[in-house]
Amino acid sequence: MRLILPILALSSALLTSGAMASGFPVTVESCDRAVTFDSAPARAVSNDVNLTEMMLALGLTGNMVGYTGISDWKTLDETLRAGVADLPELSPNYPTKEVLLGADADFYFAGWNYGMRVGGEVTPDTLAEFGIAVYELTESCIHIMDKPKASIEDMYVDLINLGRIFGVAEQAEALVAGYRQDLEAFTAGLAALEAPVKVFVYDSGENKPFTAGRYAMPTALIEAAGGVNIMDDVDSSWVEIGWEPVIERNPDVVVIVDYGQVTAEQKADFMRDNPAFKDVPAVLNDRFVVLPYVEATPGPRNIEAIKTLAAAFRE
């Protein structure tokens, strides 16, 4: 597998009948880059639970040498644990360049703030010289370029692109078509709401909450379920804010992202027990909804997350 940036003409030697039969070479858009693959990666690494689950949904464990960025602060549920049973966790948090090189990786599926940091040691540029191609999570592209607000299409695009990269385009297209059909059928049968439910996403933090802005996936999930993210005007993805705008905007529902050492119930109790929130409708009416991290971030479980939210918004 060879990463070409910018895209160069392929030599005739690479255009074997086998490569052409499987659809290679293929070029995909990864944030603001065009990335070309002459063949499917054979030693891929994914970072984070949601990105790893995208790989599992496409049946790509045979093309993987491991995964990273989970056990330090998140847990594998039974589905994920079974899917990666034969793969090692190469690093419990963001991997270093040495970790990826030590695994002889040829592909890294990550995102900005999902395994890579702007200006960090592990980026598409720093890995390219070692022959490690990178595909970036679409939701995360806002950290390095302009993009539309978060959409369920972001997740679909990633699955389609991964399908093309690994030579399983038809499976990816069928998977996405199934998700579309499921979601369309579900939303078509939803009872109408008198007005969109006002929702605050509580990820973490007590002095200042970490939440989802306009470009984070929960905004799209909330809208699909019939709500509106009260921080939709925050021109960012996952971001730390103050509590004042949360109180001022009076959310009807608080969506808690469940992960880490602080439990969802502890997060809810923090808001229930703090006098500052006593008049907030969501707290007053005890309307807390819990989404596991793997559902609140881009990945195959986003459809189930929408269903969970839609039911809660209509209680």
In a domain, 185, yes or no: no
Do 288 and 165 lie in a common domain? no
171 CB neighbour count, 10 Å cutoff: 16
In a domain, 233, yes or no: yes
Two tokens, residue 13? 């030697």
Do 220 and 146 lie in a common domain? no
Do 80 and 222 lie in a common domain? no
Do 80 and 45 lie in a common domain? yes
CA distance 8 to 193: 53
In a domain, 245, yes or no: yes
Nearest CA to 31 out of 177, 156, 168, 154 is that of 154
Do 150 and 221 lie in a common domain? no
In a domain, 191, yes or no: no
Do 170 and 205 lie in a common domain? no
The predicted structure's pLDDT at residue 149: 96
CA distance 218 to 298: 9
Which domain-ending residue is among 123, 150, 180? 180
Do 176 and 253 lie in a common domain? no
Domain span including residue 253: 197-313
Do 77 and 104 lie in a common domain? yes
Per-residue pLDDT of the chain (315 residues; tens, 9 = 90+): 434 333 333 333 333 333 444 689 999 999 999 999 999 999 999 999 999 999 999 999 999 999 999 998 888 888 888 999 999 999 999 999 999 999 999 999 999 999 999 999 999 999 999 999 999 999 999 999 999 999 999 999 999 999 999 999 999 999 999 999 999 999 999 999 999 999 999 999 999 999 999 999 999 999 999 999 999 999 999 999 999 999 999 999 999 999 999 999 999 999 999 999 999 999 999 999 999 999 999 999 999 999 999 999 999
Do 42 and 124 lie in a common domain? yes
In a domain, 5, yes or no: no
Whether the upstream peptide bond of residue 25 has omega within 30° of 0, thus cis, is: yes
CATH no. for residue 119? 3.40.50.1980
In a domain, 2, yes or no: no
CA distance 287 to 283: 6
* Count of the separate structural domains present in the chain: 2
DSSP for 20-64, please give it.
Answer: HHTT-SEEEEETTEEEEESS--SSEEEESHHHHHHHHHTT-GGGE
Do 220 and 90 lie in a common domain? no
What is the model's pTM?
A: 0.91
Do 167 and 210 lie in a common domain? no
The predicted structure's pLDDT at residue 22: 62
Contacts of residue 285, defined as CB under 8 A and 6 or more positions apart, other chains included, come to 252
In a domain, 7, yes or no: no
In a domain, 11, yes or no: no
Do 154 and 239 lie in a common domain? no
